[in-house]
């Protein structure tokens, strides 16, 4: 960011004090700062400007005069020269003051925090409006894509309605904007108080006229559902440690599993409730979630509370060894939400569920603008259910053992099945026909230069025992070439326990190591609805997986 200052016509020197602080001395009645930002970050957190579109997330652009964060702010968005962008329009949930028919003009924010919380999309995008529980919603999609946005809007309307009704009418916002960017590669979402920015693969949008819910489209709907849920649960209910949120330092909490994990559970469950996802599709998504956790040996080393606390240093700075040392508070957090929901339903004979805890959390904290203390969620769950949950939370949040999900799901007529992975394209969630024992490298990999680049080397697996590292390029097994296509076939020629020569490049040096092949672990999960179940179990399952008829 380049900063220039003047007072009237007088240029003034700008002194930089730290990464994000500048001081200007000698200003008269007015101080004008001109900042120049190089906008080439396409992510939902960034700022972007080219001949096709512009986008910004407030913190990338707006400086704050120190100590004046409570004052109201006016922002004027000027259109680029007409010859460059005649069709450009503005999409944002910022409050409009005086704008033209394209949305250029003056906007206001009650304070700095509100200004930062309203990303802005500018360009020649497609948009559709819809109403959910009386609240106008806008679906805006930038980037190249081919889809039926009316159909997408109608699915989103069902999801939004289900969520507003979940927390209780009226919605805590009077307008909502989905600011979407369809890309070839990239994925992400960021929640805001009256909008969300979503980036996803353009092929996730349904083809015009396509029926049903293809898997890719489910992924898009789940992302939208996730960020929308945050409008209550993160943007309004939030850890007390985030009130006020300090932009200039790390804000530590052990509660991120409550906010991201529980949201990840409901993003899918509410797709079912809203009627856009079938029970089978939901169970497949839960099976994939379980698989992601079971393929992470780090879950035995790091607890959820620690994962949350370390978020600043780990989750968004991935390193190849993370799967061995850490666990995501999104995925394992979602499993804790699942386990807790089932446990509450089971042990209170259906009187209390996680739904009740979430609504009470909203009413007690979010709706009143009160931060959730570090023990607030656990206390509330115990209070509402009347159960002693201390042991459950100690094990699930502060311990590292696997959760008793097979047993809990069994009480709801759902079988928890495990099998070996069949390859790098196998994300679990479904049964797959196997032909006998599967051997595995004990490593994640991707195709590169005709071989396999190891992306992660899992603790205790064959590759690690042979001394292979992430980054090594495996080119041969038993002195025959291996690649992504033939790996499974090559591995099938050996027996478990057999020692083979593995040839790999580390940098530009060729290595040969002895690799003792082991049976692939049963780390791939899928869930099946049981057919022979008693009436009590059926009743429990129906109550948990009920679909509310769409409006
Ligand atoms: Zn989230």
307 Cα to the center of ligand 1, angstroms: 15
191 Cα to the center of ligand 1, angstroms: 7
Q: Which residue shows structure tokens 């570090």?
A: 374
Ion ligand 1, residue ranges at CB < 5 A: 260
Cβ neighbors of 227 (< 8 A, separation 6 or more) are 189, 190, 191, 196, 198
Residue 547 pLDDT = 80
Is 150:254 a contact under the CB 8 Å cutoff? no
Residue 433 pLDDT = 72
105 Cα to the center of ligand 1, angstroms: 32
252 Cα to the center of ligand 1, angstroms: 17
Q: How open is the CA angle 441-443-446, to the nearest 5 degrees?
A: 110
Is 523:291 a contact under the CB 8 Å cutoff? yes
Cβ neighbors of 461 (< 8 A, separation 6 or more) are 440, 441, 442, 443, 518
233 Cα to the center of ligand 1, angstroms: 9
227 Cα to the center of ligand 1, angstroms: 6
DSSP structure string for 77-102:
EPPPPTTT-TT-EEE--SEEEEE-TT
CA distances 287 to 81, 218, 278, 320, 451, Å, are 52, 14, 14, 24, 30
390 Cα to the center of ligand 1, angstroms: 26
190 Cα to the center of ligand 1, angstroms: 7
506 alpha-carbon distance from chain centroid: 33
194 Cα to the center of ligand 1, angstroms: 15
Give the residues across from 418 on adjacent strands.
Answer: 525
Residue 436 pLDDT = 64
Residue 242 pLDDT = 87
Is 414:290 a contact under the CB 8 Å cutoff? no
Residue 243 pLDDT = 85
269 Cα to the center of ligand 1, angstroms: 15
Residues in the chain with pLDDT values less than 70: 313-317, 434-436, 549-551
188 Cα to the center of ligand 1, angstroms: 10
pLDDT digits (tens, 9 = 90+) for 188-241: 999 999 999 999 999 999 999 998 899 999 999 999 999 999 999 999 999 998
327 Cα to the center of ligand 1, angstroms: 16
Is 476:502 a contact under the CB 8 Å cutoff? yes
pLDDT digits (tens, 9 = 90+) for 456-513: 999 999 999 999 999 999 999 999 999 999 998 999 999 999 999 999 999 999 999 9
């Amino acid at each position: 960011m380049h900063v220039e200052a003047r007072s009237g016509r007088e240029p003034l020197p700008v002194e930089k004090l730290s990464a994000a602080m500048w001081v200007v001395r000698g200003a008269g009645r007015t101080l004008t700062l001109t900042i120049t930002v190089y906008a080439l970050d396409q992510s939902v957190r960034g700022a972007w400007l080219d001949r096709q579109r512009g986008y910004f997330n407030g913190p990338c652009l707006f400086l704050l005069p120190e100590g004046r964060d409570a004052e109201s702010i006016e922002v004027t968005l000027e259109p680029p020269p007409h010859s460059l962008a005649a069709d450009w329009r503005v999409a944002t949930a910022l409050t409009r003051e005086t704008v033209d028919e394209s949305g250029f003009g003056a906007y206001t924010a009650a304070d700095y925090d509100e200004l930062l919380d309203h990303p802005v999309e500018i360009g020649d995008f497609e948009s559709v409006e819809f109403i959910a529980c009386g609240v106008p919603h806008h679906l805006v999609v930038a980037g190249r894509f081919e889809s039926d946005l009316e159909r997408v809007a109608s699915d989103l309307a069902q999801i939004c309605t289900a969520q507003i009704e979940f927390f209780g009418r009226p919605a805590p916002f009077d307008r909502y904007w989905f600011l979407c960017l369809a890309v070839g590669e990239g994925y992400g979402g960021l929640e805001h108080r009256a909008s969300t920015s979503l980036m996803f693969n353009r092929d996730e949008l349904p083809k015009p006229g396509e029926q049903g819910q293809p898997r890719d489209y489910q992924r898009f709907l789940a992302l939208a559902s996730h960020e929308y849920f945050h409008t209550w649960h993160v943007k309004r209910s939030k850890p007390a440690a985030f009130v006020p949120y300090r932009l200039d330092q790390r804000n530590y909490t052990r509660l991120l599993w409550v906010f991201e994990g529980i949201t990840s559970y409901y993003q899918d469950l509410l797709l079912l409730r809203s009627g856009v996802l079938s029970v089978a599709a939901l169970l497949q998504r839960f099976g994939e979630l379980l698989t992601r956790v079971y393929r992470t040996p780090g879950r035995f080393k790091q607890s959820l509370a620690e994962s949350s606390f370390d978020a600043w240093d780990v989750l968004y700075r991935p390193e190849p060894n993370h799967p061995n040392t850490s666990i995501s508070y999104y995925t394992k957090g979602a499993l804790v939400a699942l386990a807790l929901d089932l446990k509450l339903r089971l042990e209170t004979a259906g009187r209390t569920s996680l739904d009740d805890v979430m609504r009470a959390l909203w009413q007690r904290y979010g709706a009143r603008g009160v931060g959730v203390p570090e023990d607030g969620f656990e206390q509330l769950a115990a209070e509402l259910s009347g159960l002693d949950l201390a042991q459950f939370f100690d094990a699930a949040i502060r311990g590292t053992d696997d959760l008793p999900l097979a047993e809990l799901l069994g009480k709801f007529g759902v079988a928890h099945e495990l099998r070996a992975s069949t390859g790098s394209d196998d994300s679990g969630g479904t049964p797959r026909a196997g032909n006998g024992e599967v051997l595995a490298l004990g490593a994640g990999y991707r195709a590169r230069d005709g071989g396999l680049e190891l992306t992660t080397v899992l603790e205790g697996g064959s590759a690690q025992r042979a001394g292979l590292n992430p980054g090594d390029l495996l080119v041969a097994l038993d002195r025959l070439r291996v690649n992504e296509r033939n790996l499974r076939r090559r591995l099938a020629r050996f027996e478990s326990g057999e020692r083979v020569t593995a040839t790999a490049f580390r940098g530009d040096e060729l290595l040969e190591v002895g690799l003792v092949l082991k049976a692939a672990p049963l780390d791939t999960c899928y869930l099946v609805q049981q057919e022979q179940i008693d009436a009590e179990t059926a009743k429990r399952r129906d109550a948990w997986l009920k679909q509310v008829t769409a409006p």
